[in-house]
Amino acid sequence: MAQALSPALGSRAEKRAFYKLALRTTLPIAFQNLMDAAVNSADVIMLSFVSQSALAASSLAGQIAFVLFNLVYGISSGASVMAAQYWGKGDGRTVEKVLGLSLRTVILVGAIFSAAAFLVPEWLMRIFTDDPALITEGIAYLRAVSLSYVLGGFASVYLAVMRSVGRVKSSAAIHCSAVFMNIFFNACFIFGIGPFPKLGIMGVGLATSITRVIEVLVCLLHTSQCRQVRLRLRDLLARGGMLMRDFIRFAIPAAANDIIWGLAFSVYSIILGHLSSDIVAANSVASVVRNLGTAFCFGSASSAAIILGNAMGDNRLEEARVYGRRFVAMAVWTALIGGVAILLMRPLVLDFMHIYVVVTDVVKAELNTMLFINAYYILGMSLNTMLICGIFRAGGDVKYGLMCDIFAMWGYAVPIGLICAFVLKLPEMWVYFILCLDEFVKLPVNFRHYIKGKWLQNITREQTE
Helices 295-313, 277-293: axis angle to 10 degrees equals 50
H/E stretch holding 393 reads: helix 393-394
- Cα 19 from Cα 12, distance rounded (Å): 11
Q: Which residues of the chain have pLDDT under 50?
A: 1-4, 464-465
pLDDT at 75: 87
Number of helices (H) and strands (E) in the chain: give both, helices first.
18, 0
CA-wise closest residue to 270 among 259, 279, 261: 279
pLDDT at 234: 85
pLDDT tens for residues 136-153?
888 888 899 899 999 999
SS3 of residue 167 by DSSP = coil
pLDDT tens for residues 233-292?
888 887 767 888 888 888 888 888 878 887 787 788 888 888 888 888 888 888 888 888
Question: 197: buried, middle or exposed (CB in 10 Å: 19+, 13-18, 0-12)?
Answer: exposed
pLDDT at 327: 96
Non-local CB neighbours of 208 within 8 Å, separated by 6+ positions: 144, 145, 148, 152, 182
3-state helix, strand, coil in the chain (%, to 5): 85, 0, 15
pLDDT at 282: 87
- Cα 386 from Cα 378, distance rounded (Å): 12
- Cα 190 from Cα 193, distance rounded (Å): 8
Non-local CB neighbours of 154 within 8 Å, separated by 6+ positions: 103, 106, 107, 110, 216, 219
Q: Which residues of 414-452 are buried (b: 16+ CB within 10 A; e: fewer)?
A: bebbbebbeeeebebbebbbbbbbbbbbbbebbeebbee
pLDDT at 358: 62
| SS3 per residue for 295-323 | HHHHHHHHHHHHHHHHHHHCCCHHHHHHH
pLDDT at 9: 79
Q: Which residues of 3-31 are buried (b: 16+ CB within 10 A; e: fewer)?
A: eebeeebeeeebeeebeebbeebbbbbbb
Under 8 Å between Cβ of 87 and 166 = yes
pLDDT at 465: 46
Q: Which residues of 358-388 are buried (b: 16+ CB within 10 A; e: fewer)?
A: ebeeebbebbbebbebbbebbbbbbbbbbbb
Non-local CB neighbours of 421 within 8 Å, separated by 6+ positions: 271, 274, 275, 431
Sign of CA dihedral 139, 154, 207, 178: positive
- Cα 187 from Cα 96, distance rounded (Å): 38
Under 8 Å between Cβ of 277 and 53 = yes
pLDDT at 40: 64
CA-wise closest residue to 98 among 79, 118, 126, 114: 79
State yes or no: cis peptide before 7, omega within 30 of 0.
yes
Sign of CA dihedral 195, 199, 200, 206: negative
CA-wise closest residue to 159 among 99, 214, 235, 105: 99
